[in-house]
Amino acid sequence: MANELNQLLFRIRDGLATTVEVQRAHTLVMIDERLPVGLRQAIDFREDAVGDAVGLLAVLGADSLFGEVLREGIAADLAEVDEHTLEASNRDELLLEEVWPLAEAFVAAVRQEAGTIEMAAAVLDVLGLESPQLPVAEAVYDEAGVVEIAVDWHVDIEQAWVSAMVDGELPPEARHAAIRKLREDPAAGAEMTVFATLGSDLRAAVQDEAGETPYLWSGVAEGIGVDAEAVAGWDGALFAAAVRAQAGEIQLADEVMAQVVTPLPSMVEEPPPLPQPANSRRWGGLLMALAAAAVLMVALPTTWNQNTTGTAAPVAQASAQFASAGEIVVEALEHGDNSTVHQIMGDQGAVILWIDEGEAQ
């Protein structure tokens, strides 16, 4: 059912769902216990079915909020900001989050997406960003060869302020100017999306340009003058020598094997000899047969004449063949004031009338 609901929500989000599909999605939402009860009751796909679908997909973790919808939301939010509000307020206190509530979450998401990638100095210079100190970068660069990535990225140098704003690196005055410019140029939102995927794009571009890279650490280690197998603070030879000095010369093999290899217990044991009967067995068989016959004569009639009273034994339940949608018609369906009823289908197609009492008792 979870997959079906997700698929329906995607169709609603994309404007491809029929009325029946929207109703089906509403039904599935009503009984989906992954969702809070209040949310289930609030979602009705009437006023803003697309918005409801987008929100549900985000809550269910099936889709992120980034992309076209977010950009449109950002533009819509910024369009509501009053120009005078920006100028009259204290610049030191006006934060991007006051005009764009999603900014903090967006910046965090961008940073998470960009990862800890180490960017070549040349690329960083082009973007006007501070180049970090990367002792390994040169070795990697030499190994990967010349990489032409600036052009493939379609990065516009004039849009460097967008990247800086996403990273929170603009001073307050510049930030206000950036906000005004963003309002004037909604297309800049698309650039912000580009930078949100900057990290993954960079990695893909480097790999496309340089090809599959072999194991680099050995070359890098040699380039920076360290042992590729070395671990800081660890000397295996010293450790072994210290153990030998402490333990001395020990021949463990024989003593250890003597403890480990123990004789397995025999699986077959000779049983103790059976005692021979002391009594005569001449008439034993006849007497046993007569005794068995006597027991049967007494026990069987008692069983046959047993009068069963009380509740009957439960009937062996035969599996029910559940009606499919074409074999049952719900002609009337009503519910009480404290409940709702939905007609849904089980995983094997059985028709289920689902009663929703709301909060669990």
Which residues contribute to the site for another protein (CB under 8 A)? 1-2, 31, 33, 283, 286-287, 290-291, 293-294, 297-298, 300-302, 304-309, 312-323, 327-339, 341, 346-357, 360-361
Residue 231's φ and ψ, nearest 5 degrees, are -120, 130
H or E stretch covering 74: helix 68-79
- Tell me 62's DSSP state: S
Q: From CA 298, how far away is CA 308, in angstroms rounded? A: 19
Nearest to 78 by CA among 192, 196, 195, 198: 192
Please give the span between the terminal C-alpha atoms of the chain, in angstroms, as a whole number.
Answer: 25
Q: What angle do CA 130, 135, 141 make, to 5 degrees?
A: 85
> Shortest distance, CB of residue 319 to another protein, whole angstroms?
4
Of residues 76 and 352, the one with the C-beta less far from another protein: 352
Of residues 276 and 302, the one with the C-beta less far from another protein: 302
Q: How many CB atoms lie within 10 A of CB 29?
A: 24
> Is the distance from CB of 23 to CB of 30 less than 8 angstroms?
no
> Shortest distance, CB of residue 285 to another protein, whole angstroms?
13
Of residues 137 and 344, the one with the C-beta less far from another protein: 344
Of residues 280 and 317, the one with the C-beta less far from another protein: 317
Q: From CA 51, how far away is CA 73, in angstroms rounded? A: 11
> Shortest distance, CB of residue 321 to another protein, whole angstroms?
6
> Shortest distance, CB of residue 24 to another protein, whole angstroms?
13
Of residues 249 and 337, the one with the C-beta less far from another protein: 337
> Shortest distance, CB of residue 52 to another protein, whole angstroms?
21
